[in-house]
Every structure is written in C-alpha cells, then in structure tokens.
Chains A and B, each alone.
Chain A
Amino acid sequence: MTGKNPRTEPDEPGKPGPEPGAPFTPVEEVIFRRRSVRFYRKSQVPEHLVRRVLEAGRFAPSAGNAQPWRFVVIQDPAMIEEMTRDVIAVCRRVMRMADYTEPGMQRKESVAKALQRILPNMFHPIPLAAMKLISQGKLGVWHGAPTVIALLVDGRAPGKPFLDIGIAGQNMVLAAHSLGLGTCWVSFIAPLAMMPKWKKRLGIRHPYKLATSIALGYPRGEPDGMVSRETRAVDWHGEDGKRRVVT
C-alpha cells in the first residue's frame, strides 16, 4: 500500500480542485455531519472497527513526528461503570463546595467565582453546569458507550503535546463517524488522574499524563447531521497587502 506518488514536473501547476460551489467531498461530509453522540446502543464495537479507528489516530500529524500519544481502550463495562461512579463522586464534592444555584446557597457564589478565576477552563460555567447534571445523574459521563478510549500524552514530547493528542483524537473521531459509529469527547475523565487507583489501572505515570477520553459506540437513532452555527470573523491578509475581515 505504501509507495511513491506519480512523478510530477517541479513547475507543473497543482490540480485546480473543485469549482466554486461544488458538492462537499466525503471527508467534508463527515466533518460537517459529525455530532457528539450521547445515546448509544448496548452492542459492543467489534475489535476490527476499534482498531481501524485507532489506526486513524496513529497516522495523525505531530510535532517533530514524535507521536506523543498512548491510547487505552476500555471495553469492560464494570470498569467503565466504576470510572463513572468515581467521576460522579468528584462532581458531587465540587458541587457541595460551589453550587450556588440551590435555594439559600448564594454564599457559595464567591467560592465558585474564585474557582472560575483561578481555573477558568475547568470551572467555566458550562462544565460547572454539567457537573451539577452529572452529580444529579441527569447527564451521563460516557453516556452508556460500550467502548471508551482514554488518551494519554507523553509529557516529554516537542512543542505542544496536548495539541498533538487533540489532532490524533479528531482523526479517530472522524474515522469513527465515517464508519457509522458515534463518538463523544469526554474530558470529565480528568479527575481520575488524581486517584492512585486509576493512575495505576490506566497507566498514568511519568512520562504519561491523562489528556482526555473519547466515548465510542453505535448510536441510537441518527444523531449525525448538519446544523447551523455562528459564523466566525477571520482576518485575511491578502496578496494586495491589505487586511480584510471575512465571516
């Protein structure tokens, strides 16, 4: 399968690519249709499909081709359940400290805001609201997915190894959706990295750090599809030396 590309002359113009307005390519279709899946069938993902997904991760670009990832596949339902229980327990503890939305608990608002200032990503209002739902059992952690892939990162790698993990993970996610599977990025696995039990079981030990996880399974219903989302302003420094903003 590996081998040389056909020979091209050095000055040959590149392929023109599709005309303006041409239909989406299969890759674009998968990118645009991918939605996070939070409702899975119980049936397990067969090993060959999981391996196919991992293979897409293996061929992700990384700084200096260091490939600073280690993937941990978890298909043991008892283990996923135990992980879920421990994440819920942590969410409950945080909520006892910082849930100011319960009646009569306004005094906790200062705790929440201090946490948000110190760790704005972890205690951003969205994960904070999610922690409340998780602690109440209204939001799953891995949403009943039969397979979880934990993504570990080699902390010694060049550049920004966590970024490389994101790239490898998204390769796997897109491959999975193209195979008819569903995925959801689940970073609520993070608290497990603080527990000796999970450090041992997941192999989180120098040089590895726990980065995030991906839930994988067959979706119930058809969750993938295109939706609207806000356009983003992009600065464009043109060939004419002028800057414009496109959306």
Chain B
Amino acid sequence: MEHLTWKDRRHIESFLRIGRDVVLGRVCIDGEKCSGCGFCTRACPAGALELADRKARMAEGNALCFSCGDCVAICPEGAIDLEAYLQFRHFFRYLDRGEAQPPRRF
C-alpha cells in the first residue's frame, strides 16, 4: 500500500510548476480521423480541447486535463485516445494506481 511521506504532505502542488508538481492528463487526436465536429470540446470539463482548422487539438496553455475520457467516449470517429493520466506529485498524489485498462471481463 502506498502512503504519503511527510515531505509530500508538507508540499502542496502549484499550477505554476506544471510538469514538476502536476503531470497533466493528455489525449492524442488522430488528425486523419477527426472530422472537426467539436463534440469533444463541448464534453471536456477542463476546457482542454479546442478546434483549430476544423480539427480538434489540445489547447495551448496548461488546461487541467484529468484524463476522464469523456472526449474519447463521445468522439463519433473514434479519433481520440488517452495517452497520459493526471498525477499530482506530493500532497494530492493519487495512490495505488496501475497502468490503464478498459473494463475487464474476468
């Protein structure tokens, strides 16, 4: 079982240290398949997606993608994939997480 160290508990993550304090979620968008419908930009709770040249892309800047997968699910073309999952590095660190998997049938 993972636990926080005292050092971690003292350090609250800062949005000014993205990459070091916070690893953002990330999706990759297949530009070939993307039809520019914009559903993903509406579904994204983090405002992390935008349309440019009639194609969806991750917005410039540090929108807090928390890898919910709503864009992946809503995309009618199946053009979006989750690539990285949000992680905090200290106080708010997610614990006991392994590699990503779709729902499994045991």
Residues of A at the B interface (CB closer than 8 Å) are 20-24, 28, 32-33, 35-39, 100-101, 106, 109, 113, 116-117, 120, 124-126, 129-130, 133, 138-139, 220-233, 235, 247
Contact = CB atoms under 8 A, between A and B. Distances in A.
Given A125-B92, A226-B102, A133 B47 contact: yes
B13 A226 contact: no
Given A36-B45, A101-B16, A230-B98, A235 B103 contact: no
Which DSSP category, helix, strand, loop or mixed, fits chain A's interface?
Answer: loop
A227 B37 CA distance: 20
Contacts of A117: 12
A225 B39 contact: no
B17 to A, nearest CB: 10
Contacts of B2: 233
25 contacts: A32-B103, A33-B73, A36-B68, A36-B70, A37-B43, A38-B70, A39-B39, A109-B14, A113-B12, A116-B91, A117-B12, A120-B91, A125-B13, A138-B47, A221-B37, A221-B39, A223-B73, A223-B74, A227-B72, A228-B69, A228-B82, A231-B99, A233-B1, A233-B2, A233-B97
Contact of A227 (B12, B82, B91): B82
Contacts of B73: 33, 35, 223-227
B66 A230 contact: no
Q: Is the interface of B mostly helix, strand, loop or mixed?
A: loop
Interface residues of B, number: 42
B98 A125 contact: no
Nearest to B11: A113
Given A113-B14, A129-B46, A223-B74, 19 more contacts: A21-B105, A21-B106, A23-B105, A24-B103, A33-B73, A39-B39, A39-B43, A120-B91, A125-B13, A125-B92, A221-B39, A223-B73, A225-B72, A225-B73, A226-B102, A227-B82, A228-B102, A230-B99, A233-B96
Interface of B: 1-2, 12-16, 22, 37, 39, 42-47, 64, 66-70, 72-74, 76, 82, 85, 88, 91-92, 94, 96-103, 105-106
Contact of B101 (A124, A225, A229): A229
Contact of B64 (A120, A129, A232): A129
Instruction: Output the residue of A33, A101, A125 with the most chain B CB within 10 A.
Output: A125
Contacts of A226: 73, 102-103
Contacts of B67: 229
A164 to B, nearest CB: 26
Contacts of A124: 92
Given A221-B39, A223-B73, A225-B74, A100 B15 contact: yes
B97 A232 contact: yes
Nearest to A138: B47
A100 to B, nearest CB: 7
A217 to B, nearest CB: 13
| CB-based closest 8 A-B pairs | A227-B69, A225-B73, A231-B98, A233-B96, A230-B97, A32-B103, A228-B100, A129-B64
Greatest chain B CB density within 10 A among A33, A36, A228 is at A228
Residue of B64, B68, B73 ringed by the most chain A CB atoms within 10 A: B73
A231 B101 contact: yes
